[in-house]
Structure formats: C-alpha cells, structure tokens
Amino acid sequence: MKFTKLSLVATLAVSAAVAGGDIAPAPVVVEEAPKTTIDGKLTGYYITADNGKPTYDMFDKDWSQLGLAATLNVNHKFTDNIAMNLGAVGYVNTNRDIPFDYIGEYFEGQDNGAFINVANITATLMDTTFILGRQLLNTPMLSGFDWLLAPGSFEAYTVANSSIENVTLIGSYVRTWRVNNTGDNWIKLTDIDDGNNWTVSAAYDNKTISGSIWFYNVDAGAAVSPDKYTQIYVDGGYDFGVAKLLAQYVNTNYNTDTIDDSNVFGVKGTATLGSFDLMAAYVNVSDNVAGWVGVMDGLYTSSWNTATGGSEGNNFKVEAATEFAGISASASYAYYEYKDSAVNNNDGHEIDVILGYDFKNTDIVVIKDMDLNVVYTNTNYGADTSDINALEVYANYKF
C-alpha cells in the first residue's frame, strides 16, 4: 500500500552461509564488543481534503494540516545474537484550533507529543529468531499500517524459524496495539473478552512458486462489529517470468452462531509491458464483511484509503506504474460493492495517483538522503455518499 511498509517475513528471515574448501587451522575467535547503531528520519506531512462536502475548500487553512515529526531508531547489540531495538517519535502540528477532521483534526490526536513506538529485545538461536516487546507487524490480516507520521505498532511476542529451505514459520502473540495516527494510546487487547490474540503461519517461496497459510485467533474482535473470530488465510502464486498469477482465500468464523461467517476469494495478475508494471485484481467478499486487525487489510483490491474487507460483493482493481526521469508514478482505479441497504447506490470506488522522487542520485549532498511524495485520492464509500478528494504531500530526510 504505502511506499514504506515493513514485511514481517522479510524482517524475520534468517540467512546462513556455508563455505567449503581445504581444511585450515581454526581461526582465533575474538568476541565483538557491544555495538550501538543510531539512525532515523525527519518527516514533513501536509494533507488537505474536502470530505465530500461543498463547504470544505481544499488548500484552505481550515481544511488542511501540516505535521512535522522526528523518528529516532537505536539498535544496541549486546552480542552477535542478542540486540535491543528502540524507536521514538516526536511530532508537532503546525495548524492549531481548526475544524479539519479528515484525520481527526491533528496528526496523532494531539497538537504535539512523543511516544516510544518500538522497544524490543531480539534474540537469534541458530535458525530461530525471537522478538519480545513493541514491534512492527505486517501480516495479511493483522498489520500496523505505515501511514502519516508513524506506523501502527504492537506489543507482542514473536518467533520465526527458517530451518527448512525456502520455508518460514512464524508465531506471534499480541498483547497491545497502538493504532496508526493515535499518538501514545495503546489498546490492551488482553483486556477484551478472553484476551487471546495470536497468529501462526507457514510460508514457502522458491522465487517461482510461493504460498502461505495463516491462522488468526482474535478475541479483541468482540469489542467491534461483527464479533470476535478465528480466521484462516491462504494464498499462493506462480511466477511465469513475464507475468505472475496469485490467488487468496480468507474464511472468517465469527463466534456468535447468528452472525454469518465471511468468505473471501481473490485473484491477481501482474506483468511488465515495456516500462510499465501492470496489475489487475478481482476479489469477492460474500456472506459478511471480513475480519482484520489494522487500518488496512491484505486483500488484493484494497487501495490507499479503502479496505476491501469492509465490502460485500464483487470488487476489482487495475493499476499501472512506471518510472521516468527518476520519478516513480502509479495510477489505479478500484470498484467496490457494498451490502444492499435502504439507499439506492451502494457502489463505491477509489482513484489513486501516486508520485515519488528519491534524491539519492543528485549531486547536492544535503538532500541525497531525502525523498518527496505526492498522493491524490478520490474515494467513495457507497451508501449514496459524495466523493472525497484528498491530497497528501510528504517528505522524508533520513539520517
């Protein structure tokens, strides 16, 4: 979805190298001293929207917000196998006392503030990695979502194993959740219903054939509609070289017998034609909306603003992306079908135009670590609502 989205599998993948050759005397083992690495980024984020209302004027100060944030990441290695990770975010909103409500008036819910988004211990034992504490998770139907000033985060206990070639096994037990754009507000998922929220998965990828299966138990679903649930997510793909075909299936089994379970089936194809990367996807959501944890789900037709799991019916999306003069550009159109209601029109849509430029190839040293991004969206959520136009412009400077 976003330009910067952390993959859980990629983050936890453990690689090993084995060298062969003549037998040589064993080298003297010298234990490395503890090592600390510090990096981060500065972010400026401007957003304006008309909220689908004729009284809202885009670019007017009353209907715009500019947020500034600094993210500091610290990694301290105690040994080669044990490390501590900290990620702190401080932010300020430059426009105060305004009625703008597209993102809740302020970025992160307050005019200024700070919070610890990541704080964990990572330990590796052979082919197994443990992450204990606040961390970023990005699984198909449970995700922190990287948008605005900082990604959503979870306090969780995660373990990943890659002992089998091309296979990654993952398990994660989630305790708390900082929803994207809510500041230092952590929801204690363990206090909701039975308090058990976890996922286990197995993924296979040999570069040609890929697939994964995830099982979710989400008791925290009892706090929202429809209900708490268990869920099975399965996907698979085959890379033909010139094109790639993928499919996914999701079954959400809600706890209450009187609530219909949800079934989702989706297919997606991608191909490269000249300098353009093309994508087309279709997803059907039947019987009920799907369950997911996060602002966005992992269904193929989801867009910048719209999560497909909230629809009921047939959905499709087409997208084209390219790069020219150092500018990455993509344009997409998605159609969403919502459950029949008393209104006449239950069709929704989203149009996204996304531009990005990375200054890494410039000769100007002071901006080589900077990127600039522009996102225009036109979104309609059905139910006879008006189109919502929004423009987001954000820049990151990494250090």
**Phi, psi of 367, deg, nearest 5:** -120, 10
Residue 324 has pLDDT above 70, yes or no: yes
pLDDT at 19: 33
Mean pLDDT of 378-399: 94
Please state, in angstroms and rounded to a whole number, the distance separating the CA atoms of residues 106 and 112. 9
Chain-centroid distance of CA 175 in Å reads 19
Please state, in angstroms and rounded to a whole number, the distance separating the CA atoms of residues 349 and 268. 18
Higher pLDDT, 15 or 64: 64
Residue 70, SS3?
A: strand
**Phi, psi of 61, deg, nearest 5:** -55, -35
Portion of the chain with pLDDT greater than 70, in percent: 90
Report the first-to-last Cα separation within the chain, whole angstroms. Answer: 24
Portion of the chain with pLDDT greater than 90, in percent: 79
pLDDT at 22: 35
Higher pLDDT, 53 or 323: 323
Please tell me the least confidently modeled range out of 28-37, 98-107, 201-210.
28-37
For the chain, give every domain's residue range: 8-12+35-398
Length of the chain in residues, anyone?
399
Please state, in angstroms and rounded to a whole number, the distance separating the CA atoms of residues 358 and 372. 7
Residue 87 has pLDDT above 50, yes or no: yes
pLDDT at 24: 42
Confidence of residue 339 (pLDDT cuts 50, 70, 90): confident
Residue 10 has pLDDT above 80, yes or no: no
Counting Cα atoms < 13 Å in the Cβ hemisphere of 307 gives 17
Residue 167 has pLDDT above 80, yes or no: yes
The domain over range 8-12+35-398 is classified in CATH as 3.90.245.10: no
Residue 3 has pLDDT above 60, yes or no: no
Please state, in angstroms and rounded to a whole number, the distance separating the CA atoms of residues 16 and 26. 19
Confidence of residue 346 (pLDDT cuts 50, 70, 90): confident
Cβ proximity of 378 and 392 under 8 Å = no
Mean pLDDT of 112-141: 98
How does pLDDT run across 222-268, given as a tens digit for each residue? 999 899 999 999 999 999 999 999 999 999 999 999 999 999 999 99
Mean pLDDT of 270-299: 97
Residue 33 has pLDDT above 80, yes or no: no
